[in-house]
């Protein structure tokens, strides 16, 4: 998957390109990250990327010209590499569709994407109207910039690329993949601060373990995220 990131801070992305599963996926060529820094596309000697909002008010906005030039360069780059001409431009925004596992699945099936990271008070509405196909939020709170949101999206999407996670069962058993939260897990030692590992996990009885895990998944989901149970329709089946 070709991932093109429009960002004033490409160096932040070393957090995912130098650590863990995303770093290995990049090494294996499962994901390819390219950065387009609007500052490189400025035309004035001060390389200005922000300006005051019309109408007054606090803060600054990202200027239209360098941002649009960076997006166009990302599109050209994709064309030059012969990949999907229709790569969607996604703006990371607190106003966007809130990312969940269904959204991650949708994004993971694409072969390319262009992610726009805002800074300051965000970006000019005309850039959204003219260049952006979709907006994605990582939650109902406000970050200082789109980079952490983009990295979150990239990490989640990378986990779903075939071969990215060593044991593919661990992805299919993750929370949300079947609409439920994951069951509680235990590792050595068998006793920790007087608390024992549930005996069924030591029994070697795989059928009993499967049943216990499903039951625990339901209990965990009902306790921590009851709305997921309603969404799955399991609350009706119970009565």
Ligand X SMILES: C[S@@+](CC[C@H](N)C(=O)[O-])C[C@H]1O[C@@H](n2cnc3c(N)ncnc32)[C@H](O)[C@@H]1O
**Residues interacting with ligand X, by CB under 6 A?**
92-95, 117-119, 121-123, 137-139, 141-146, 149
What's the closest the beta carbon of residue 133 comes to ligand X, in angstroms?
A: 15
Q: Where are the beta strands (DSSP E) in the chain?
A: 2-6, 32-36, 50-51, 61-62, 88-98, 112-117, 134-137, 191-192, 195-196
What's the closest the beta carbon of residue 69 comes to ligand X, in angstroms?
A: 18
Answer whether 22's CB lies under 8 Å from 92's CB.
Answer: no
Give whichever of 21 and 143 is closer to ligand X, judged by the CB atom. 143
Give whichever of 67 and 165 is closer to ligand X, judged by the CB atom. 67
CA distance 178 to 107: 18
Give whichever of 29 and 58 is closer to ligand X, judged by the CB atom. 58
Answer whether 96's CB lies under 8 Å from 132's CB.
Answer: no
Residue nearest to ligand X (CB): 118
What's the closest the beta carbon of residue 66 comes to ligand X, in angstroms?
A: 15
What's the closest the beta carbon of residue 120 comes to ligand X, in angstroms?
A: 6
Give whichever of 130 and 172 is closer to ligand X, judged by the CB atom. 130
Tracing tokens 């269904």 back to the chain, one arrives at 102
Q: Which two tokens stand for residue 74?
A: 């990302």
């Amino acid at each position: 998957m070709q991932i093109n990131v429009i960002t004033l801070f490409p160096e932040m992305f070393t957090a995912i390109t130098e650590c863990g599963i995303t770093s290995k996926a990049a090494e294996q060529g499962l994901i390819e990250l390219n950065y387009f820094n609007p500052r490189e596309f400025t035309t004035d000697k001060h390389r200005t990327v922000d300006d005051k909002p019309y109408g007054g008010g606090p803060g600054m906005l990202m200027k239209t010209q360098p941002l649009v030039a960076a997006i166009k360069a990302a599109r050209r780059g994709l064309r030059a590499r012969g990949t999907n001409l229709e790569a969607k431009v996604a703006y990371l925004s607190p106003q966007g569709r809130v990312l969940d596992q269904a959204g991650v699945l949708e994004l993971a099936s694409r072969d390319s994407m262009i992610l726009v990271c805002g800074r300051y008070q965000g970006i000019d509405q005309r850039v959204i109207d003219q260049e952006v196909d979709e907006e994605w939020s990582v939650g109902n709170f406000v970050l200082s910039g789109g980079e952490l949101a983009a990295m979150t999206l990239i990490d989640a999407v990378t986990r779903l690329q075939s071969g990215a996670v060593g044991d593919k069962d661990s992805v299919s058993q993750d929370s949300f993949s079947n609409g439920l939260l994951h069951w509680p897990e235990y590792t050595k030692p068998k006793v920790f601060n007087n608390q024992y590992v549930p005996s069924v996990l030591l029994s070697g009885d795989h059928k009993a373990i499967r049943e216990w895990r499903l039951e625990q998944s339901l209990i965990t989901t009902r306790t921590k995220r009851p709305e997921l149970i309603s969404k799955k329709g399991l609350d009706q089946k119970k009565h």
